[in-house]
């Protein structure tokens, strides 16, 4: 489902039709793809669909995922996305040799990964994005998945998310306004998720800017505008990756922990475009 259009940037590790047939309730989660971002064999990117129509509360016990107390009165959609995301995390980590892990969040709602693991998680009302790696890889990881923002809503949100210069960068890639805005929103969310474990503070959409893109906006360079602690000064560059499929946008960032992203710097030097 996914890897057919992203072979330049991702190396498929499993066929995209793989489902959780190895677990009970696999009709709830389907169309799984597990991929390795190019140049990062120690990082795993997982995508999966889940189906609200196949959800029922008995799946929590069937799939051995405890239902948190705070979700007892949550709407069905919220319980379903929680279950789907935790099943995907457990499945991904089992491939690294960590079995039976149940992901919890801290007081800031940030994921608490097991020792030795770094990662990021995102979900919409029907699909999951997950990226994980070993802590020893010394990388920061962020992922975000979004439905394309409706045009009317995009017009309302534009000034909050993106500057005129950023919009021009992305529109040079031929993206429609609403898609360009969604890409910018998603990339900045991915960057925030990647940096939060280190900076432990909120990032505004204007704290980072999009400064370069390749021809189809599948690779985008971002630059910090604001200074953050822990070796993240204003001017630091990051390379973001984007997958656009119809009305879906997936973005992810894999960046060195304690060093500048030299590939991003090289891309920016390349006449303002990303190769």
* 123 annotated among ligand-binding-site residues: yes
Query: Are residues 8 and 129 located together in one domain of the fold?
Result: yes
Domain total for the chain?
2
Q: Give the other-Cβ count within 10 Å of 242's Cβ.
A: 28
| Cross-strand bridge partners of residue 133 | 43, 118
Element (H, E) at 34: strand 29-37
* 166 annotated among ligand-binding-site residues: no
pLDDT digit string (tens) for 25-59? 568 998 889 988 888 889 999 999 999 999 999 99
* 193 annotated among ligand-binding-site residues: yes
Considering 90, 111, 137, which residue would you say is the last residue of a domain?
137
* 144 annotated among ligand-binding-site residues: yes
Question: Domain for residue 166, yes or no?
Answer: yes
* 156 annotated among ligand-binding-site residues: no
pLDDT digit string (tens) for 238-254? 999 999 998 999 999 99
Considering 74, 102, 137, which residue would you say is the last residue of a domain?
137
* 198 annotated among ligand-binding-site residues: no
* 206 annotated among ligand-binding-site residues: no
> Domain range for residue 117?
3-137
Which structure tokens are listed for 123? 């979900």
pTM for the predicted model, two decimal places: 0.87
Considering 137, 157, 182, which residue would you say is the last residue of a domain?
137
Which CATH number is 132's domain given? 3.90.470
Contacts of 151 (CB under 8 A, 6+ apart): 177, 178
Task: Give the chain's mean pLDDT.
Answer: 86
């Amino acid at each position: 489902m996914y890897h057919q259009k992203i072979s330049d940037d991702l190396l498929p590790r499993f066929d995209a039709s793989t489902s959780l047939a190895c677990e009970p309730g696999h009709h709830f989660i389907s169309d799984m793809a597990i991929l390795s971002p190019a140049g990062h064999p120690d990082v795993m990117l997982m995508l999966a669909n889940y189906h609200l129509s196949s959800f029922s509360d008995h799946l929590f016990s069937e799939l051995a995922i405890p239902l948190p107390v705070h979700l007892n009165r949550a709407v069905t959609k919220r319980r379903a996305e929680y279950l789907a995301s935790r099943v995907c995390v457990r499945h991904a980590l089992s491939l690294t040799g960590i079995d039976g892990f149940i992901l919890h969040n801290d007081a800031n709602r940030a994921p608490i990964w097991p020792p030795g693991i770094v990662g990021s998680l995102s979900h919409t009302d029907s699909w999951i994005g997950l990226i994980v790696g070993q802590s020893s890889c010394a990388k920061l990881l962020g992922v975000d998945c979004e439905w394309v923002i409706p045009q009317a809503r995009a017009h309302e949100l534009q000034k909050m998310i993106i500057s005129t210069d950023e919009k021009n960068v992305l529109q040079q890639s031929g993206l429609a306004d609403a898609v360009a805005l969604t890409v910018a929103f998603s990339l900045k969310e991915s960057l925030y998720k990647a940096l939060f474990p280190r900076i432990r503070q909120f990032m505004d959409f204007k704290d980072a800017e999009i400064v370069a893109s390749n021809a189809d906006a599948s690779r985008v360079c971002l630059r910090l505008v604001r200074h953050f602690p822990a070796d993240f000064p204003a001017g630091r560059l990051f390379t973001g990756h984007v997958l656009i499929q119809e009305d879906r946008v997936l973005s992810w960032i894999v960046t060195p922990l304690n060093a500048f992203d030299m590939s991003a710097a090289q891309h920016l030097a390349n006449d303002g475009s990303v190769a």
